[in-house]
Amino acid sequence: MISVLLLLVVSLLDSAKGLEHQIVKYGTDILLDAKVTTTLPPKSDFYWKHENSNNVVKFNNGVEPSLYYDKYRAEFFKQNYSLLLKNVEQNYSGLYKAVYNINQDQILVEYNITVQDPVSPVQLMVTKFNSSDCNLTVTCRTEDSSLSRTFQCNKTSCLPQEAAPISLSVYLQQDHILCNHSNQVSWKQDTKDIKAYCEKEKGPSTLSSTTTIITSSVLAVVVAVALVAAVVCVN
């Protein structure tokens, strides 16, 4: 019996993948896989622990699992020992361990979970521009103005004018200036059409076109009169 239990522990430990880092968006769900493919023996204990001491789940084989709902919104799947954390908040961040116990704790897998808030919307504002050479000064800022960054843009690129948080970026894509606010779980964007602030290429003026039309018309009339006069003279 002891040899069978030792083989089982070795099998369970072989399935462990070490520490995994995951970043989760606030308010979403995350599934933690225990990576166990072997059924637990009778009178053995299985735990999901948070920050080493807080039990999220305790499961004795053959007995219904105990879920600690006071702090966690969670669902435990006893078929494969995985744990679903629901609608996560900041206090869900931290180290989670799947622990198997016969005579002492054996860590099967560990997850370092970071709950991150989604980014706030942004506004892109043109604060200065020179239409003749298509040179613009733009400011990308969050709606609450807690983050802001200024860039100098033209038809080919946008360059930062000051140091600022890397979560804010401005770049040129075709004929649009894009202000991007992002982190590892979300992004927001605002755009401006650069053509609206640049002088249009000059085409032929209306006066020039009108003069050309009048000149052509007069010339046509003169040619017609000359032809008529020539025909009269011949006759």
Amino acid identity of residue 89, one-letter, is: E
**Residue 176 above 90 pLDDT?**
yes
The length of the chain, given as a count of residues: 235
Q: How confident is the model at residue 5 (pLDDT cuts 50, 70, 90)?
A: very low
With a CB cutoff of 8 Å and minimum separation 6, the contacts of 35 are 15, 16, 17, 98, 108, 109
- Do 25 and 116 meet the contact criterion of CB atoms below 8 Å apart? yes
With a CB cutoff of 8 Å and minimum separation 6, the contacts of 174 are none
Please indicate whether residue 42 or residue 116 has the higher confidence score (pLDDT).
Answer: 116
- Please report where in the chains the tokens 């980014």 appear, as a residue: 119
Listing DSSP states for 22-47 in one string gives EEEETT--EEEP----SPPPTT-EEE
**pLDDT per position as a tens digit, 6-42:** 323 333 434 445 789 999 999 999 999 998 877 777 7
- Do 25 and 185 meet the contact criterion of CB atoms below 8 Å apart? yes
Q: How confident is the model at residue 50 (pLDDT cuts 50, 70, 90)?
A: very high
**Residue 208 above 50 pLDDT?**
no
- Among the residue ranges 23-32, 40-49, 153-162, the one predicted with the least confidence is 40-49
Q: Calculate the alpha carbon distances from 31 to 25, 105, 131, 174 in Å.
A: 13, 22, 53, 40
Please indicate whether residue 40 or residue 148 has the higher confidence score (pLDDT).
Answer: 148
- Please report where in the chains the tokens 């298509």 appear, as a residue: 134
- Do 79 and 88 meet the contact criterion of CB atoms below 8 Å apart? no
With a CB cutoff of 8 Å and minimum separation 6, the contacts of 101 are 44, 45, 46, 47
**Residue 216 above 90 pLDDT?**
no
d(CA 92, CA 191) in angstroms, rounded, equals: 35
Q: How confident is the model at residue 218 (pLDDT cuts 50, 70, 90)?
A: very low
| Residue 96 dihedral angles phi and psi, to the nearest 5° | -115, 140
**Residue 119 above 80 pLDDT?**
yes
Domains within the chain, CATH numbers bracketed: 18-116 (2.60.40.10), 122-198 (no CATH)
What pLDDT does residue 63 have? 76
